[in-house]
Amino acid sequence: MLLGIIKENAPGEFRVSMTPETVKKLVKTGLQVLVEQDAGIAAGYPNSDYEAAGATLADTATILKCDLVTRVRKPTPNEIEKMKRGAVLISFLEPYRQDGTLEKLAEVGVSAFAMEAIPRTSRAQSMDALSSQANIAGYRAVLEAAAQYPRFFPVMMTSAGSAKAVQVAILGAGVAGLQAIATARRLGARVEAFDVRPETREQIESLGAKFMDLQLGEEGTGHGGYAKALSEDAQQRQQAALAERLKKMDVVISTANIPGRRAPVLITEDAVKGMRAGSVIIDLAAENGGNCPLTESGKVVKKYGVTLVGHTNYPALVPGDSSSFYGKNIANLLGLMWKAAESGTAHQLKIDLTDDILEASLVTHGGEVRFGKPKSTHAVATASQPTAAAAQ
Ligand SMILES: NC(=O)c1ccc[n+]([C@@H]2O[C@H](COP(=O)([O-])OP(=O)(O)OC[C@H]3O[C@@H](n4cnc5c(N)ncnc54)[C@H](O)[C@@H]3O)[C@@H](O)[C@H]2O)c1
């Protein structure tokens, strides 16, 4: 069984889907690993480390023809056409975008697993790439804020005078938000945070931040650790309350997100106008419409004296660790289908659709798009026979 690791070619993407450490473990299970020349260079993993781990270097065309292909970013239609019928692909695929990628993968007969579709359950935690990458994004977002902010973060006493600690607001205390709180605290910031899920209060306080009580009269706990949308009234109350609170903040990191929906607006134009000159807003939801309508996706802009940062790929700015975590997430997912039936026998690839994690994340199979469709279960398909019947 040939596993191929692609060299990412999207602009600004410095991650790689598998590191030498993960490759070494997979090679021991009998997988033959091919890695595209220089695939890990930008993340700090040279070709020689992959070779030492047991991988062989190959060109793009050879990697695309492998039985199993791993990558960080979704393939282009041209790349998909070059893939092998019946191959398995594991990657972020942005399945919500409906941009034709899934249809193309199905047409070519690729069984694709979308890392975004891994359920947020305890058993799937070690495969949850959205969380592993959001954690890094929360950390890197604070470093970005510190670099953009024209003053110190911590209290600073010098012979030339002293500086006060920066006042940071974190909006949304999910994976990225909690890591942002922890990182800002480590840098000496005074931190207040808010989330619509009341259970986050304890988590926020345990990290040494103050819970920002916006008194919305409504909570937003949804399913599976995610939020649900607030009513129109509560949204307006939140925007008005934040416009007041943010007048006293120097840095805002906003991470509010509701799965499958456009990001909620938390920081209105009027709120930005009311903020101190030199303040910084890091809008982690920039790619999904932004928590502030003034954010420009992929850009750093200054409006009303406030710097708005709309970077869309913070994990790629910490590529060594984000690749390492992502590779482990993939290897753990692969472990659910690449295994020995009995101890002492060779590993085989089997996609067992009775496994809830495989069932949820397999977005194309047997020539069909499964994402967003009612799921069929209780079937076992092998990668070498990905017929429509196998998935029924
Ligand atoms: N820019 C990047 O590089 C990058 C990288 C990773 C993640 N992200 C984005 O960061 C955001 C957060 O990711 P995450 O994994 O932490 O998501 P998450 O679902 O774990 O956290 C989002 C939080 O927002 C909260 N929330 C929802 N509506 C809210 C509201 N009106 N007010 C306050 N809080 C609200 C939710 O309760 C939840 O705790 C997402 O938009 C994600 O796409 C961006």
Q: Are 128 and 142 in contact (CB under 8 A)?
A: no
Cβ-proximal residues to 384 (8 Å cutoff; 6+ apart), any chain:
86, 349
Query: What residue spans in the chain does CATH classification 3.40.50.720 cover?
Result: 2-127+319-391, 137-317
Is 324 tagged catalytic? no
Alpha-carbon span 204 to 188, nearest angstrom: 16
Alpha-carbon span 221 to 196, nearest angstrom: 7
Alpha-carbon span 67 to 71, nearest angstrom: 13
The pLDDT score that the predictor gives to residue 205 is 98
Q: Are 101 and 93 in contact (CB under 8 A)?
A: yes
Residues in the chain: 392
Atom of ligand 1 nearest to the CA of 287: 1
pLDDT < 70: residue spans in the chain: 375-392
Is the C-beta atom of 284 inside 6 A of ligand 1?
A: yes
Alpha-carbon span 22 to 27, nearest angstrom: 9
**Given 37, 48, 98, 125, which residue is catalytic?**
125
**Given 120, 185, 186, 237, which residue is catalytic?**
120
The pLDDT score that the predictor gives to residue 49 is 98
The CATH class, in words, for 137-317 is alpha beta
Enter the DSSP assignment of 311.
Answer: -
Is 120 tagged catalytic? yes
**Placement of tokens 């607006």 in the chain:** 265
Q: Are 249 and 275 in contact (CB under 8 A)?
A: yes
The pLDDT score that the predictor gives to residue 388 is 32
The pLDDT score that the predictor gives to residue 275 is 98
Q: Are 311 and 144 in contact (CB under 8 A)?
A: yes
Q: How many CB atoms lie within 10 A of CB 222?
A: 13
Look at the domain 2-127+319-391 and name its fold: Rossmann fold (3.40.50)
Alpha-carbon span 58 to 33, nearest angstrom: 10
The pLDDT score that the predictor gives to residue 339 is 93
The pLDDT score that the predictor gives to residue 385 is 36
The pLDDT score that the predictor gives to residue 79 is 98
Alpha-carbon radius of gyration of the chain: 23
For 80-133, the pLDDT digits (tens) are 999 999 999 999 999 998 899 999 999 999 999 999 999 999 999 999 999 999
Instruction: Using the mean position of ligand 1's atoms as its centre, give its distance from the Cα of residue 300 in Å.
Output: 20
The pLDDT score that the predictor gives to residue 235 is 96
Q: Are 293 and 263 in contact (CB under 8 A)?
A: no
Is 131 tagged catalytic? yes
| Entry pTM | 0.94
CA distances (Å), origin 377, targets 68, 356, 381: 23, 9, 11
Residue 245 CA, chain-centre distance (Å), reads 29
The pLDDT score that the predictor gives to residue 284 is 98
Q: Are 84 and 67 in contact (CB under 8 A)?
A: yes
Pocket test for ligand 1, best of 13, 284, 296 (most atoms within 8 A of CB): 284
